[in-house]
Amino acid sequence: MAQSHVNQTFERDAFPAPHDFPDSPLSKALKQPLLLGVFLNMQDIRVSNHPTSNTWTFDYNAKIVQQAEALGFELAFSRTQWLPKGGYDGEASLDSFIALGAMAAITHSILLVSTIHVLYGPLHPLHIAKYGATLDHIAKGRWGINIVTGHRPIEHEMFGRPQIEHDERYQLAGELFDVLNTLWSSNENFTYEGRHGWKIKDGFVTPKPAYGRPVLVTATGSQAGIDFAASHSDLVFITNSSGAGIRETLEDIPAHVEKIKARARQFGREVLTIINPIIVSRDTEQQTRDYLQAIVGNKVPGSFGSPSAYASDAHAWRGRAQGTRNTGLGLGGNIEIIGTPEQVTEQLVALKAAGIDGVQLNFHDFAVDLAHFGERILPLLKAAGLRL
């Protein structure tokens, strides 16, 4: 039996990543000038009572992912939240870990990223390593993890623990993914005792993931989160703290993006940034105004009010919480892109020029609006050089 070590020093450069393999699904996706994704709503949350086909159900969201895949989209993922009764507008919420993993068997090319609160509850590193490798093989290298450490005390408390201090959470996440990367890459048994109470004795996982490890995504805005993402993740999911409008986003986001990418280069790595716009578009300006007014005019009072009412130490949204330079429409998404197909294309071109590498799109009505995006906007993106 091979010798294993306790509290060993991790050599992160030795861990293979999906982009190290030219034929990996991630490497193929990265050939696109602008990555396209869908940010699924698998929770019973409604911003507006204007009619929509949206539901939280697996069947509906699976069809949206298949629709996006047929249009050539590279990414799909969704949020997961752990909230008590009354924490959503309705009662239903699918788990992203399970739901996106299940979609691996019914898709062929799109990357499927499961949101996992990696520091909560009963999941041991060996569980994550084994489950992740299994899903990655089912998906043939297309599965990944959206890494969440938990910004709400109430979520940690649901699992019987007090909330871990903000920066310490990212230190623990770094430790966890060093362990996971070791399990995913090592051909020897592995023994480890961690600060979070994790203990592994002669741990071993096989098969290994298809291309080194699953794709890793981190949503963050704090310095501790950026340090973690820059040293571990492939994609960094960002927001614009000054507001949801496209104007302030284009003003503020270039410096934020450069800060993240420069930090990654200090670790000898390259990362991509993605952001979450909601697209509100129809063929003409009048039709777009009418659609926007129908959504905003039927806005549900206190939309997202219950989740946001819970205490949070998230850094990325602090400016928005203070209401600075916010559009006030509250349509959803990190930013709001509103206009005709030509105007939407111009705004996406501007986001790319500002340093954004990909967009996880949100819609008021996913089935209808995604079809409109594919028919009317996607050809313009190709003509603009944002899509191959």
Residue 7 placed within a domain = no
CATH of the domain at 121: 3.20.20.30
Provide CB contacts within 8 A for 217, sequence distance 6+: 77, 113, 144, 145, 146, 147, 233, 234, 235, 236, 237, 274
Say how many C-beta atoms besides its own lie within 10 A of residue 91's C-beta.
10
Residue 81 has pLDDT above 60, yes or no: yes
Domain that holds residue 35: 12-383
What integer is the mean pLDDT of 188-214?
Answer: 93
Is 303 within 8 Å of 47 (Cβ atoms)? yes
C-alpha triplet 237, 129, 64: angle, nearest 5°: 45
Residue 198 placed within a domain = yes
pLDDT at 13: 66
Q: Which residue has the tokens 């362990």?
A: 179
Residue 147 has pLDDT above 90, yes or no: yes
Rounded Cα gap, residues 100 and 267, in angstroms = 30
Please give the single-letter amino acid code of residue 74: E
Q: Determine the number of helices (DSSP H) and then strands (DSSP E) in the chain.
A: 14, 12
Mean pLDDT of the chain: 90
pLDDT at 316: 62
Residue 328 has pLDDT above 80, yes or no: no
Q: Is 323 left (phi over 0), alpha (psi -120 to 50) or beta?
A: left
Look at strands 190-193 and 277-280 and give their pairing.
unpaired
Domain count, the chain: 1
From first CA to last CA, the distance across the chain in angstroms is 50
Residue 379 placed within a domain = yes
List, as one string, the DSSP characters of 313-357. Answer: --STTHHHHTTTT------SSSEEEES-HHHHHHHHHHHHHTT--
Is 191 within 8 Å of 225 (Cβ atoms)? no
Residues above pLDDT 90, as percent of the chain: 74
Residue 349 placed within a domain = yes
Task: Choose among 114, 120, 117, 149: nearest CA to 132.
Answer: 114
Q: Which residue has the tokens 């028919």?
A: 375
Rounded Cα gap, residues 379 and 377, in angstroms = 6
What integer is the mean pLDDT of 221-243?
Answer: 92
Rounded Cα gap, residues 326 and 330, in angstroms = 9
The pTM is what?
A: 0.93
pLDDT of 333-366, one tens digit each?
789 999 999 999 999 999 999 999 999 999 999 9
pLDDT at 90: 66
Is 298 within 8 Å of 50 (Cβ atoms)? yes
pLDDT of 85-136, one tens digit each?
877 666 788 999 999 999 999 999 999 999 999 998 778 999 999 999 999 9
Is 244 within 8 Å of 336 (Cβ atoms)? yes
pLDDT at 313: 81
Residue 321 has pLDDT above 80, yes or no: no
Residue 261 placed within a domain = yes
Residues above pLDDT 70, as percent of the chain: 90
Rounded Cα gap, residues 78 and 327, in angstroms = 24
Look at strands 190-193 and 199-203 and give their pairing.
antiparallel
pLDDT at 319: 52
